[in-house]
Amino acid sequence: MSDDGDRFSTDQKRSSRDLEDVRRGLERALAGHVPEGRDHSVTGLGGTSATGMSSETLLFDASWQLEGGRHQERLVARVAPMGDDVPVFPTYDLPGQFLTIKTVASLTDVPVPPAWWCEPDPSVIGSPFFVMGRVDGEVPSDIPPYSFGEGWLYEATDEHKARLQDSTVAVLAELHAIPEPEKHFAHLRGESPGDTALRRHVASRRYWYEWAARDSGRSALIEQAFTWLDDHWPAEEGPTVFCWGDSRIGNVMYRNFEPSAVLDWEMAGLAPAETDLAWLGYLHQMFEDMAVAYGFPHMPDFLRLEDLATTYERLTGHTPRDLDFYYRYAALQLAIVYLRTGMRSVRFGEREVPGDADELIMNADTLRALLGA
């Protein structure tokens, strides 16, 4: 990969946290989750920038003494960002995410990491966090994007790419098949106004945008997108299902081109199934648009929305509807993410404050085109 890839890298600084302070805090917390007085320790603590732009992911090794010798576990801490580090979302409900993972594990065969413990007290390491077991597998890279002409996924056979695509859609199908989602995931209901799940989902994104705009300034493009949604609302919204939310392949670990762990549940919610399908397709198309713009090889026949919809219908019997609406909704949500990560870059001195908030939005050209502007 040439240095040109740096122009659209998402490898920005995420945190000002002191890792040694975090290590000591994790070591103290570990004491409550291992046999008492067994010489526990935390070593090898480090972050990862392989994927993700919101919560911090910290990898570490935990060990303690047992009668048969020293026991060691490879663990992962999912940590809410500190307020001064320009978090992507207004709130980070780490206990809620932890409960979501445990509920998915209890109701489905979708592979999720083993849930160890959740610590809501921010005083332990500076932010709430939860701990999971580490799972082996390969993750499609964000840095550089997996479709930019190199890497294990780009170089895979067509058969292997199809297996990865179809098995990922199968994850969505299984999640969406959870019965009584509003009962099992009542903690995701939230307080947003609206008489349907989709109305409440979009209302929560309006609130997210209004909160983000306090720092970045208002975005004419995002507001135009909300107006477009209001003017093109689906006549029939379809059933409410449990949605993963951040349903992209960069949030999955794969082994033999099938999911070994499904990660990142902070955008999980209750909404029509099309919300997840469109996000899966659009997040790949974002990389495609960037690759074409900068002359990189790319993967135009992979994760096409029409193919995802066909596979989903075959697996579930449900015909996805109004995908144009949900596709634009996905682009709008990603624009809000970029509004925040752009301001985070300003916070860490990686860029200047722009004169127009729309300059922070990396998918602005695509969103404008989708809106017909």
Active-site annotation, residues: 246
Helix (H) or strand (E) holding 336: helix 323-347
Q: Specify whether the CB–CB gap between 254 and 164 falls below 8 A.
A: yes
Q: Specify whether the CB–CB gap between 76 and 58 falls below 8 A.
A: yes
3-state helix, strand, coil in the chain (%, to 5): 45, 15, 40
Numbers of helices and strands, H then E, in the chain: 10, 9
Angle at 72 between CA 71 and CA 74, to 5 degrees: 155
Question: Helix 274-294 to helix 323-347 angle, to the nearest 10 degrees?
Answer: 60
From 225, 207, 218, 211, select the one nearest 357 (Cα to Cα): 218
Q: How far is CA 241 from CA 180, 217, 282, in A?
A: 8, 34, 20
DSSP 3-state of 259: strand
DSSP 3-state of 250: helix
DSSP 3-state of 102: helix
| 8-state DSSP, 356 | S
Angle at 253 between CA 266 and CA 330, to 5 degrees: 45
Question: Helix 274-294 to helix 158-176 angle, to the nearest 10 degrees?
Answer: 150
Helix (H) or strand (E) holding 25: helix 19-30
- CA atoms of 282 and 272, how far apart (whole Å): 16
CB neighbours of residue 9 within 10 Å: 12
Residues 6+ apart with CB under 8 A from 53: 10, 12, 14, 88, 337, 341
